[in-house]
Structures are given as structure tokens and as C-alpha cells.
Amino acid sequence: MGEFDLSRILVWPKRKLIGVTFRLKARFEALPLVTAVTSKHSVMTAYFASSPAVVGEDVPGIAFFDITDADTPFSIILSELESTGMVKILEIIEPVAEGLLIDNISHPLTAGGERAIILRGAGYRDFVKGIKEQLDAAGKLFLYFEGCEMGKGYGKLHRSIAKAVGIKDPIEICRRVSLPAFQWAGFGRAEIIQISYSGGTVAIYDSSNARGRR
């Protein structure tokens, strides 16, 4: 698929933007009904994401809309959306400036039910570089142990996820949960070179801060 932006920030100069948080019915006809309403009024969905940790009767979500060419006030469009019975609007996200929309409503952020933060590459790279330059060998040692401790924490999370779907074998947890989750988190791509119950070797690709290690 390639790059996927999850920033929840939309920059579109000279366009009228607005966002909403909502709960959408977990039914096959829900999304088509919602998009039919917005397209009917010349409103373009510029960003849409749902975030169900577990799917129930409805799922939470967020959407950014371009209402520059809308033929109806947005408040009326929202009422029409709710009249479908498929969506409940929770909060409106107003633009911070024309053409700039930032989700300042969603808090706290979670991933798989765990509290999460977004570390953008520029800040993270400078953090790692600064630690190495300021602390030299001690900085490299700190980063090594930081990675080990983070790995242990993620391992506990992966085991709990695997348990929920009946995966118990440690090697299968690594193959079917930990490796995909490594890429899901944005660390890079991971490939198992060899693995056994006593250890293994994993190659890391497209990551500026990790190398294949046992």
C-alpha cells in the first residue's frame, strides 16, 4: 500500500474545512448512507478514520470535510446525517485557520486499547542523535536498554492480543502478531531470519535506528 498518513492534520490552503467526531453504526449500509448525504450536498470527505478497539453496535470515528462548494449549511447536513439513524455526531472540530484543520478533540490517543503518542520522525531523529552526541558511549548504551525495555512491554501487549484470538505458541505470536505490529507501529519492516524457543534473529528494514539483532 505504501505510505499512510495518520496525523489527523489537514493542510489545504484556500479551502473551507471542518471536522467531526462521531459514532457510526456497525452495519454494512451505514457508510454508504453517510457518503450519499455528503456527496449530495457537494461536500468532499478529505479524511475518514474509525477506531474500534473491539467492534460493538457502533464504532467511534473522525472525519474531515471540505465544505468549500457545499450547497447547504453544514449544520443542516449534520442533521440530515443523523436522521439516517446510522451516525451520531459527537463534536465539531473547527479549523484553526482557513485551510488548516487539526484534531484537538481526540484525547487520549490509544492504540489497541493502550495509551499512545505520535512521535514524528524529525523530533525522534533529533532525540536519538542528541543522546548519542551528548552522552557518547553511555548514550548508545541507554538507547540499547531503552529498546530492550520497550520490547518487553510490547511483548506483553502482543501476548494479550494473541490470547484473545487463541494464539498461544510463542513462535506463532512472534510471526503472526509481533512482526505485523512492528510495522503497524511505524518502526519499520521486520523479517525473521531464524527462530526457535531459545531465541532468534530478526532483520529490520527501512528503520534508521535499528539493526538486525538476536
Q: Is the pLDDT confidence value at 71 over 50? A: yes
Three-class HEC string of the chain: CCCCCCCCEEECCCCCEEEEEEEEECCCCHHHHHHHHHHHCCCEEEEEEECCCCCCCEEEEEEEEECCCCCCCHHHHHHHHHHCCCEEEEEEECCCECCEEECCCCCCCEECCEECCCCCHHHHHHHHHHHHHHHHHHHHHHHHHHHHHHHHHHHHHHHHHHHHCCCCCHHHHHHHHHHHHHHHCCCCEEEEEEEECCEEEEEEECCCCCCCEC
Name the more confident of 12 and 164. 12
Identify the pLDDT of residue 204: 87
Residue 213 has pLDDT above 50, yes or no: no
Mean pLDDT of the chain: 87
pLDDT in tens, 108-151: 888 777 788 777 777 777 877 888 888 888 888 888 888 888 88
**What does the pLDDT read at residue 1?**
55
**pLDDT for residue 212 is more than 50:** no
181-202, pLDDT tens digit by residue? 888 888 888 899 999 999 899 9
Burial class from Cβ neighbours inside 10 Å (0-12, 13-18, 19+) for residue 18 reads buried
- Mean pLDDT calculated for residue range 24-34: 92
**Quick check: 169 pLDDT over 70?**
yes
**What is the pLDDT averaged over residues 20-34?**
93
What domains can be seen in the chain, in order of their start residue?
9-115 (3.30.70.260), 123-205 (no CATH)
pLDDT at 145: 84
Residue 39 reports pLDDT greater than 90: yes
Percent of the chain with pLDDT over 70: 94
